[in-house]
Amino acid sequence: MSGQGGQGGQGGQGGQTMRAWQWRGPDDHGQIAAAVPTPAPDELLIAVEACGLCGTDLRILAGDYGHARPPVVIGHEFAGTVAAVGSAVEGYAAGQRVAADPNVYCLKCEWCSRRAYNLCSMLHAVGIGRDGAMAEYVAVPARLAVRLPDAVAPALGALIEPLSCVLHGLERGGVEAVGQGGGWAGRTMAVYGAGAIGLIAVAVAAGLGLEVTAVEPLAARRLRAEAAGAVRAAERLEPSARFDYVLDASGAPAAVVDGFGRLRKRGTFIQMGVAPSAFEVPVNPYRVYENEWRIIGSNSVADCYGRALALVESLSGPLSQLVTHTLPLAELPRAIELMTDPSAVKVQIDPRL
């Protein structure tokens, strides 16, 4: 069960302690007092000002996310202010606003050489494999940090990570702007789930010129999908509906099963939602062969964080509207409950509150 309590940290930044939300095992998590990290020579210590809660976090807390190992402080969508700079770091100073790619990759393995940093053989992602940003402070390698433009507030900076995930997903799926490369007019996409990832996917795909249909059970979120650029938002699709691209942003087994049956010839299915790890869906190899379908998986950021940073300011209007709730760290159980509330899209934690 979730709860508060825990032991105070030892050592750390001048022996100081901080509040943090630690996951200890399936459905066992709570607020603790932890040592403020001391940044390594190549690291920044960031005072966290915004940290988003997402579906991956919920899977971790439930004990159904294979990459996570307890105990760990969760939180990987974050932004804040540099509080301290490691002795070998150049180009950063205390007081600067920053965000950071949460994937701490090695730059030495095959996958890093292919710029698939999210698949690094020695990956230790912030909030998953090493302590994250659901805390007052987080330490990250300076090479993963980016300076935020003055116009980008921390709440918006924390959305760079989910935006980069969407850019990676569309890139994996070969989605291009109409009239560019292989892009052709009249392309269609169905996006299952109108949470934060789904709404960002709707906005970006619509901006590329695709006709986007959102599939979402909650009426309030369907309205948000239409505002983000969907030509249509429906609770369910008619039996004959088919699309060039189907993107699952929900992870819901029923959505995945339905989505697999919605591809046109040469259609592409993009799995972005974090489905239950034990869930399996039957796939007919003959139909894959006959229709030349592509089934694509996409997780995390890969090498798209910098591209998302370049776009975030121009998308500040629609992105900022995604942040519907900001809560203090102690109210994280309420934040979890809000994830299923029709009024909520992106719930963020501000550890300063």
Beta strands in 119-172 (DSSP E): 137-141, 145-147
CATH superfamily, domain 2-160+301-349, is: Medium-chain alcohol dehydrogenases, catalytic domain (3.90.180.10)
**Count of helix runs (H) and strand runs (E) in the chain:** 11, 17
Residues above pLDDT 90, as percent of the chain = 85
The token pair at 18 is 């901080």
User: How do residues 262-281 score in pLDDT, each as one tens digit?
Assistant: 999 999 999 999 888 889 99
Spatial contact of 281 and 256, defined as CB atoms under 8 Å apart: yes
The token pair at 91 is 């180009």
Domain ranges of the chain: 2-160+301-349, 174-297
Q: What is the mean pLDDT of residues 46-52?
A: 98
pLDDT at 180: 65
Predicted confidence band of residue 12 (pLDDT cuts 50, 70, 90)? low
The CA distances from residue 210 to 11, 177, 188, 257, 267, in Å, are 53, 8, 6, 23, 14
User: How do residues 119-170 score in pLDDT, each as one tens digit?
Assistant: 999 999 999 999 999 999 999 999 999 999 999 999 999 999 999 999 999 9
Is 93's pLDDT higher than 80? yes
The CATH classification number of 174-297 equals: 3.40.50.720
Helix, strand, or coil (residue 198): helix
pLDDT at 35: 97
Residue 340: closest CA among 276, 230, 252: 252
What b/e readout covers 257-283, taking b as 16+ CB neighbours within 10 angstroms? Answer: ebbbebbbeebbbbbbbbbeeeeeeee
